[in-house]
Amino acid sequence: MDLVGLLKSQFLCHLVFCYVFIASGLIINTIQLFTLLLWPINKQLFRKINCRLSYCVSSQLVMLLEWWSGTECVIHTDPQAYPKYGKENAIVVLNHKFEIDFLCGWSLAERFGVLGGSKVLAKKELAYVPIIGWMWYFTEMVFCTRKWEQDRKTVSKSLLHLRDYPEKYFFLIHCEGTRFTEKKHQISMQVAQAKGLPSLKYHLLPRTKGFAITVRSLRNVVSAVYDCTLNFRNNENPTLLGVLNGKKYHADLYVRRIPLEEVPEDEDECSAWLHKLYQEKDAFQEEYYRTGTFPETPMVPPRRPWTLINWLFWASLLLYPFFRFLINMISSGSSVTLASFVLVFFVASMGVRWMIGVTEIDKGSAYGNIDSKQKRSD
């Protein structure tokens, strides 16, 4: 390991990133709280401000991927579709196999200049998580309980609110609902067999209702579905801890632009269309494992400097008073003060490990038992 790599793997560096992220995030959440005063006066101004505040938070994670880790994502796509990316609203359907696939989705949005306004379909519990969850609340993210009878109205209502959104956005959705593991895949394929659906080798059975309601609610506002299939070269198994340690990964992302007019309006037909899409995604993954590449022309969108500039701004604003406080506390020589410092350091360490741990594949949500799945019409 070279000197730079050794430096990147040090916990002190991780602690600095964590401190800047948490401190800046809480400041931004506080500012977002005050922007609520604008909502009854000028809703569109409220939205534009919160898009930019949201970018200040989410771009810090993208900065870790693109600048600290140096991970590069090659996009394989139709050159005729490429100029439209970032110029239109789109539903992005991304496979859910890797710990950092959500970061690759955010990086895609960042490369095309729509990260601040982009949306996800997220679990309702995340709305109560400080920083990310609160930020999402103020940017009108769509939350679901994964219980369709409850979600039918609430998700549709949230999606309809986005019809007059003033900023371009990608709506990222993992139709599989949870990350791929062999155990979940086995259960998923038993459900597929029970429903008479074709089996998938590299994906879980997609949950079609959320996708169908998204398409129905955003039709004539969203121009296309971007079918995104992600994989990593040389059988790399990327993790957030690896990114934090500065490890460089090599991603390939196959992006197909499908005009929304080609997606059926009828719910049952839309469901069948999505199942067919995932059979095609499976075939693309099979080809990738066989040949090491995806179809279409490989392209690398330029890395924008704004994620790095944003982090450097917050770091310069927050690190000086932080280190000055630490020096004063240590130089005081008080045993109580030093004990407090050790306690804070320990809690911060656990906080960093927890934030990393929640992204691990084996900590993902359960796919559900077979019986309950077979009772669903999805």
Q: b vs e for 140-167, b when ≥16 Cβ sit within 10 Å of the residue's Cβ?
A: bbbbbeeebeebeeebeebbeebeebeb
Cβ atoms 166, 355 nearer than 8 A: no
pLDDT digits (tens, 9 = 90+) for 210-261: 999 999 999 999 999 999 999 999 999 999 889 999 999 999 999 999 999 9
Cβ atoms 106, 58 nearer than 8 A: yes
- Is the pLDDT at 366 greater than 70? The verdict is no
Beta pairing partners, 91: 171, 225
pLDDT digits (tens, 9 = 90+) for 167-188: 999 999 999 988 899 999 999 9
Average pLDDT of the residues in 6-13: 83
Q: Residue 362: which H helix or E strand, with range?
A: none
Domain ranges of the chain: 3-306
* Non-local CB neighbours of 280 within 8 Å, separated by 6+ positions: 227
Strands across the sheet with 170-173, in order? 142-144, 119-123, 170-173, 90-94, 224-232, 250-259, 72-77, 297-299
pLDDT digits (tens, 9 = 90+) for 93-139: 999 999 999 999 999 999 999 999 999 988 888 888 889 999 999 99
What is the predicted pLDDT for the residue at 328? Answer: 77
Structure tokens at 24: 């800046």
Which amino acid is residue 222, in one-letter code?
V
Cβ atoms 82, 299 nearer than 8 A: yes
Cα(164)–Cα(156) distance, integer angstroms = 14
What is the predicted pLDDT for the residue at 104? Answer: 94
Cα(231)–Cα(255) distance, integer angstroms = 12
pLDDT digits (tens, 9 = 90+) for 17-64: 988 999 999 999 999 999 999 999 999 999 999 999 999 999 999 999
Q: b vs e for 317-343, b when ≥16 Cβ sit within 10 Å of the residue's Cβ?
A: ebeeeeeeeeeeeeeeeeeeeeeebee
Structure tokens at 44: 């569109």
Helix segments in 9-147, DSSP class H? 11-35, 43-63, 101-111, 132-138
Domain 3-306: top CATH class:
alpha beta
What is the predicted pLDDT for the residue at 55? Answer: 97
What are phi and psi for residue 342, nearest 5 degrees?
-60, -40
What are the DSSP calls for 164-185, one per residue?
A: G-SS--EEEE-TT-S---HHHH
